[in-house]
Structure 1
Amino acid sequence: MPTAVAVTSADMALPAQDDRTMPGVVLRDLDQRPLEQTLAELHTLTEQHGYLVVVCSQATPESVVRRLHTLRSLLESDRIALFRPELPPLGVAVLARQLRQLASCDLSPGVLASAGRLLTHYIHAGAVLGSVARLDRVPVGLREHAKSWVPGSQFAVAAHPEPQLVRIAPGATLKGPEFGTWMLVAKGQLQSDWIAGLAAEWNVHGLHEAPLPAESPVWWGTGRLVEYCSHLADLSVLYQLVTSVRQSRCHWCGLDVIGDRCVFCSATPPPAHQPPAPRALEQRTPA
């Protein structure tokens, strides 16, 4: 069975992008169900799939994250990877779906898990916000804080890969990707058509809608938002990106990985061997 890719709530499991996309595993209510029940669930998943990659956002409740670490420790398993990229929740959901796409390919578990770090560089994620007064994920100046109190003000924010913040006005724009992408939009408690204009400016291949993740208002500091994520959707492009990167073997658990850290055991490569420094010449007393 292919490596399983899991999320911690149903709204983070986006519909399949193509026929090959693997179904998403939803680990529901981990912090509310009995420990024995959730332990049996993760044990079954690892036995069925061999390896499990759990993708969750920085806004995932800490009680859920603690339960994940507890379960991993109780199972004493290096076959469960916990990945929390610094992306907004909609971006995390998109990344999880990209990993589900790649799970159908001939990638080893270590390469698939570490591909998440690589693919985050190709995700452009942000939102239109009705207020930035409680936004702490992107630098906000005093002027923008003050303008948040002006009725009707809206702000365009890019959180990744490069923080950007502009007040929406004629001519306002955000720097976008220099390659072809698709855009996903999730609407909260805000009415705005600005993102449609941004999509046209970025020349996206298409624009789709999705439900707003429940974690998004926590991440952005307001429920008055429209979240967006521009991403690569073609499986062949994703596969080429991942397989073009040099692979190495984790010196601790032995998995093939890409990048400088194994997502399963968190080991980093040992320091490169350096020849010993030349010893000082001993002073010798003439005979």
Structure 2
Amino acid sequence: MALPAQDERTVPAVVLKDLDRQPLEQTLDAMKALIDQHGHVVVVCSDAVPSGVERRLHTVRSLLESDRIALFRPDLPPLGLAVLARQLRQLASCDLSPGVLASAGRLLTHYIHAGAVLASVARLDRVPVGLKAHAKSWVPGSQFGVIAHPEPQLVRIGPEATLSGPDFGSWMLLAKGQLQSDWVGSTLAPAWNALGLREAGLPAESATWWGTGKLIEFCTYLPDLSVLYQLVTSVRQGVCHWCGIDVIGDRCVFCSATPPVPESRTPTG
């Protein structure tokens, strides 16, 4: 899902549709054109898409023999993933190297709180669900507040229901599915001291990810480009020992190499 641009500097998204159904040659040509145009490509993909999509992406990367394609599948619900992709699009307008930009995705996931209001948790397998919650999900009219990231939480919505949220100022985005509820806007957003509330369309993978189409998905995020840029540039950068690209963290997002293990030295005496 490609969210609307946050500001005039936000780089447009390229949506790779039907990767597991279109001819391989078509996908190869599209990806090669993107590399030729931009130099490097960061593919942000939900883990709720069909397995054939991931296989096709790895096949394309292998056939092109390119270390300029980063495949990024963070453990985020679809709406949170869409927000993260937009943040990377915002940062793409800055003076960040491709490796640092791609690595920033792992860093920024820590600042996203993502969850949903569900009419049933009977098919929810992304968050631990106790037997009591399963039983209550069969009671007509029950609704549940669920946090999937950064730490799993689940409550049955009622007068005393609370969920732990971010301890920093952030905006909230929500996407409505086939469920009627104002709990996010009237209760959760004020409890989390949200600086503002916006709405978006429901991502195509949300019903699959949450196990039901009767949901309202939500997440909090940092919208300000200057804050995002400061977060990324304040982290120590390194150089991948294998492909030589600048990175943040201990794994290169383009070639997947990790730092070599230091050799142990035998004391001499």
- Give the TM bin, normalised by the shorter chain: over 0.9
Corresponding residue for residue 92 of structure 1: 81
Q: How is 1:1-287 mapped onto 2 (pairs within 5 angstroms)? A: 12-196=1-185, 197-278=187-268
Deviation at 1:57, TM superposition (A): 1.0
Map Cα deviations across residues 104-140 of structure 1 (whole Å, 9 max, x no partner).
0000000000100000000000000000011111110
Q: Post-superposition shift, 1:276?
A: 2.2
Cα separation, 1, equivalents of 2:49 and 2:110: 21
Measured after TM superposition, the shift of residue 278 of structure 1 is 4.6
RMSD: 0.9
3-state SS of 2:57 partner:
helix
What is the CA–CA distance in structure 2 between the aligned matches of 1:126 and 1:257, rounded to whole Å? 29
- The code of the aligned residue for 2:250 comes to D
Q: C-alpha offsets along residues 123-177 of structure 1, whole Å, 9 cap, x if unaligned?
A: 0000000000111111100000000100000000000001100000102110010
SS at match of 2:181: coil
- One-letter code aligned to 1:200: P
Q: Which runs of 4+ in 1 moved over 3 A?
A: none
| Deviation (angstroms), 1:274 | 2.9
Identity, in percent, stands at: 76
Mapped partners of 2:167, 2:225: distance in 1? 19
The letter for the 2-side match of 1:207 is: L
Compute the displacement of 1:277 (Å): 4.5
State the Cα distance separating 1:273 from its structure 2 match.
3.8
Partner letter of residue 112 of structure 1? Answer: L
Distance 2:69 2:173 in 1: 29
Name the aligned partner's letter for residue 66 of structure 1: R
Which amino acid letter does the alignment assign opposite residue 214 of structure 2? R
State the TM-score, normalizing by the size of structure 1. Answer: 0.92
Post-superposition shift, 1:63?
A: 1.0
Distance in 2 between residues matched to 1:97 and 1:153, nearest whole Å: 33
Cα separation, 2, equivalents of 1:29 and 1:277? 58
Following superposition, the deviation at residue 91 of structure 1 comes to 0.5
Higher-Rg structure is 1
2 CA distance for matches of 1:150 and 1:82?
A: 41
- In the superposition, the TM-score normalised over structure 2's length comes to 0.98
Give the number of aligned pairs: 268
Q: Deviations over 1:10-31 (max 9, x none)?
A: xx10000011100001111111
